[in-house]
A = this chain, B = another copy of it.
Amino acid sequence: MHPMQPLDIFSYLGKLQDYYARERIIPSTTQLSVLWNVKARSWTHQIVQRLKEEGFLETAAGSRLRPGPRFFERTVGHAVRAGLPQQAADVQPELLRIDDYLIEKPSQTILFPVKGDSMVDLGILEGDMVIIERSNSASSGQVVLAIVDNEFTLKVLARDKEGYYLEARNEKRSQDYPPIRPEQELEIYGFYIGLFRKASVSGHRLGLNR
């Protein structure tokens, strides 16, 4: 799998990552031995050492183990061509930490669940979690979370000769979402920097839409 590595650490790592996703804890050497099907705790310890060198594990206070910086890395496959299919794949793994990738300023970042379909043309669906970075200002064209007349709305900030206003992005139901012009003040809560979505299970919600 990974040519440079003499001991195939990654099969051990995989099991551990799955375990951690389930149990939310890095187990002791004894339990790791069971998990990895290794008879000798000393050998388990050796493998752990290897994982530490690679940055997948760390020793916390009290010499217990905790996830290291690389523990949450995910492999990125190469180019899904959702248009016309693409040339076959040499699967050259690239790694990405989702949290780090999405959030740059954790202290100023807030998540909001989306309700309604006023932004579907931008691929923002009901149930999605949008990632908002707090800010009092934004430029027109940006997607913003605004507080209009004391209520939250996710809309596109626009501007004309009469001043700033908010636009929806739903062509099909544009008559349902007319531009919003605040009565007096338009308060920006933050701007949209991304989103994530967990698909509902099975082909239920994923079914035909016609």
Chain A residues proximal to chain B, CB less than 8 Å = 13-15, 17-18, 20-21, 23-28, 30-31, 60-62, 64-67, 72, 74-89, 91, 93-94, 96-126, 128-130, 132, 139-143, 145, 147-158, 168-169, 171, 177, 180, 192-199, 202-204, 206-210
Closest Cβ of chain B to A41, distance in Å, is: 13
Determine the chain B residues whose CB is within 8 A of the CB of A195 once the complex forms.
196-197, 199
Contact of B197 with A115 in the complex, beta carbons under 8 Å: no
Tell me the complex Cα distance, A20–B157, Å.
Answer: 31
Query: Can you identify 19 A-B contacts, CB atoms within 8 angstroms?
Result: A23-B60, A24-B60, A28-B62, A28-B64, A31-B61, A78-B112, A80-B130, A82-B154, A82-B168, A85-B148, A86-B152, A88-B150, A97-B99, A98-B98, A101-B196, A142-B202, A193-B198, A193-B199, A194-B196
Give min CB distance, A63 to chain B, whole Å: 10
Whether A103 lies near B150 (C-beta < 8 A) is no
In the A-B complex, the 6 residue pairs with the smallest Cβ-Cβ separation, listed nearest first, are A141-B203, A83-B116, A14-B107, A85-B151, A196-B196, A17-B106
